[in-house]
A and B are shown apart, each in its own frame.
Chain A
Amino acid sequence: MKLRPVAAIVLRQFYLMRSSPTRVLPMIAWVTIDMVLWGFISRYLDNVASHRINFIATLLGAVLFWDFFTRVMQGVTMAFFEDVWSRNFINVFATPLSITEYLTGLVLTAVVTSLVGLLIMLLLARVVFGLSFLSFGALLLPFLLLLFLFGIALGVLASAMVLRLGPVSEWLVWPIPALLSPFVGVFYPLSTLPAWMRFIGHLLPPSYVFEAMRAVVGGHPYRAAGLTIATALVLFDIAIACALFTRVFRYTVRSGLLARYSAESAG
């Protein structure tokens, strides 16, 4: 893998963001809105409910983690969509750029963009609503890492879907986090769910993160095995997502879909 082609994908995104406030604003606006909204809801619940539950840590912490995952996933897909929107597939893929280099570039772009969102959320949660990160203990980093990796896996998977189904399938990508959230128990324990939803939840790495988060905040012991399972699942998901993207890419090259994706080029 060469570094310059990877850097090209990151640099392109930097150029686009530097010149376009409309690309930067959503990175800041949505997380800010979520933090403010859920921050006040959590504060209100802290005031009216029993003091056995720390709503700021439980609810606001959950929103912070979930938004971080969403930002990572969208960081990957947004960078991919830039090639869809600018009809750039022929220019990009008729080059020595390998699929590994391309995907690595998308992931590095997502690292940068999601960190911006994360920093804003951490700042707001801490300064405005007094969320103490100590309440998550040393698990804060593994939580973020697992969600980051799952965001990468889903971002790559969603990009493969759009590559296969065409630009119009873009709208299917945006609701994916909302679709998953009931199954992973962002705001409630998995035991709340019916058996079939719980089964699906157990296949999704974030479920283990949110279960562990609630345990830690509630002062209960958390299941280390859960995070181990989550790690194995997320690594599996990433491998599957990358393999699927590669498979879809090869299909588009074989079928002529890539050449026709952005141009009437079938001669």
Chain B
Amino acid sequence: MSAEHPPSLAAHGLAAPSGAAGPDALQVSGLSKHYGALVAVADVCFAVARGEIVGLLGPNGAGKTTTINMLLGILQPSAGSILIEGIDLARQRSRALAHTNFAAVYAALPGNLTVEQNLRFFALIYNVAGAGARIEQLLGQFELRGLRRTRCGLLSSGEQTRLALAKALLNEPRLLLLDEPTASLDPSAADLTRNRIRALARERGCGILWTSHNMYEVEDTCDRVLFLSRGRLLLQGDPRRLPAEHGTRSLEELFIRLAREPLTAGEPAAREPRA
């Protein structure tokens, strides 16, 4: 049975679907970040259930990466709470982060270490038991065996992405944060990556929060999407049904419309779909 959601999540209809055993992989409640008068993220509430893939969408500067940075513990929220596997990130940082991992285009692994050295380094940091076997498994899974002694700075962007994903799975995280994981992959490699991530959610019950600007990919992969604009959560729902519910032909069209729509004062945190 799913853990009880905070009232704010339930009130906004942003609770993760119930059904999975144990607490949600992620529960975010009232999350805000401001820099003086500048509001980067405002009162964001959502949850990611175990085994669920949630797309975090929004135009550039919407607050997606700020939100992810707060979930990663490298940016302190101005308000709100983050529970990873039911563990409060603010109070038990190390315990909470032990259940997460991430891959992001702006956080390349050190280019002066080889593929294998990087994986060994991060396996130790994440306190992975049986690291050798796990690394071998991931090298095989992401077709990196032939590159194990290659310095990461010499890898192509696609190879670096595969390595970042391998690193992100080292500790078999319960919550995986992926910031544009397929941005630099060719269509075939991107398809393989999506399949791997879907399998990870399905077979291991890993909750995944995924940002992408590729709406076709989002529609194909995500169980649910959250739409951020100017730091506020505007919309959430099934990416395959949302366009029709909001009178657009595709998710991309809906994205464009929402991204260009001016925010009004007193906007609710997330609107209900049109009837």
Q: Is the CB of A12 within 8 A of B94?
A: no
Q: Is the CB of A91 within 8 A of B107?
A: yes
Residues 75-98 of A, flagged 1 when their CB comes within 8 A of B and 0 if not, give 000000010001111111111111
Q: Is the CB of B67 within 8 A of A267?
A: yes
Q: Is the CB of B127 within 8 A of A4?
A: yes
- Among the 9-residue stretches A48-56, A108-116, A125-133, A258-266, the one with 4 or more Cβ atoms under 8 Å from chain B is A258-266
- Tell me how many residue pairs across A and B have CB atoms closer than 8 Å: 115
**In the complex, A16 Cα to B152 Cα: how many Å?**
13
Q: With A263-B107, A266-B66 as given contacts, are A90 and B74 in contact (CB-CB < 8 Å)?
A: yes
List residues of chain B with CB within 8 A of the CB of A267: 40, 60-69
Q: Is the CB of B125 within 8 A of A253?
A: no
Question: Is B216 an interface position by the 8 A CB rule?
Answer: no
Shortest CB distance A81–B (Å): 12
**In the complex, A264 Cα to B104 Cα: how many Å?**
12
Q: Is the CB of A2 within 8 A of B108?
A: no
Q: Is the CB of B122 within 8 A of A253?
A: no
Q: What size tier do the contact residues of chain A reach?
A: 35 or more
Question: Is A11 an interface position by the 8 A CB rule?
Answer: yes
Question: Is A142 an interface position by the 8 A CB rule?
Answer: no
**In the complex, A47 Cα to B120 Cα: how many Å?**
56
List residues of chain B with CB within 8 A of the CB of A82: 110, 112
Question: Is B95 an interface position by the 8 A CB rule?
Answer: yes
**In the complex, A253 Cα to B90 Cα: how many Å?**
12
Q: Which residues 1-59 of A have a CB within 8 angstroms of B?
A: 2, 4-5, 7-8, 11-12, 15-16, 19-20
List residues of chain B with CB within 8 A of the CB of A5: 124-127
Question: Is B46 an interface position by the 8 A CB rule?
Answer: no
Question: Is A256 an interface position by the 8 A CB rule?
Answer: yes
Q: Is the CB of B74 within 8 A of A15?
A: no
Question: Is B147 an interface position by the 8 A CB rule?
Answer: no
Question: Is A220 an interface position by the 8 A CB rule?
Answer: no
Identify which of A11, A90, A97, A98 contacts B107 (C-beta below 8 A): A90
**In the complex, A265 Cα to B63 Cα: how many Å?**
10
Shortest CB distance A8–B (Å): 3
Q: Which residues 220-267 of A have a CB within 8 angstroms of B?
A: 250, 253-256, 258-259, 262-267
Q: With A2-B127, A267-B40 as given contacts, are A16 and B74 in contact (CB-CB < 8 Å)?
A: no
Q: How many residues of chain B are within 8 Å of chain A by beta carbon?
A: 44
Q: Is the CB of A95 within 8 A of B125?
A: yes
Question: Is B19 an interface position by the 8 A CB rule?
Answer: no
Identify which of A15, A20, A88, A93 contacts B117 (C-beta below 8 A): A15
Residue of B72, B98, B128 most packed against chain A (CB within 10 A): B72
Q: Which residues 94-121 of B have a CB within 8 angstroms of A?
A: 94-95, 97-98, 100, 102, 104, 106-114, 117, 120-121
Q: Is the CB of B69 within 8 A of A259?
A: yes
**In the complex, A126 Cα to B236 Cα: how many Å?**
74
Shortest CB distance B169–A (Å): 14
Question: Is B75 an interface position by the 8 A CB rule?
Answer: yes
**In the complex, A88 Cα to B114 Cα: how many Å?**
15
Q: Is the CB of A266 within 8 A of B65?
A: yes
List residues of chain B with CB within 8 A of the CB of A19: 112
Question: Is B157 an interface position by the 8 A CB rule?
Answer: no
Give residues in A with beta carbon < 8 Å to B.
2, 4-5, 7-8, 11-12, 15-16, 19-20, 82, 86-98, 250, 253-256, 258-259, 262-267
New A-B contacts (13) at CB < 8 Å, excluding given A253-B75, A264-B106:
A4-B124, A12-B113, A16-B113, A86-B110, A88-B110, A92-B125, A95-B97, A96-B95, A255-B35, A259-B75, A266-B40, A267-B40, A267-B63
14 CB contacts below 8 A, A to B, read A12-B117, A15-B117, A15-B121, A82-B110, A93-B74, A94-B97, A94-B107, A95-B122, A96-B126, A255-B35, A256-B75, A258-B75, A259-B69, A264-B106
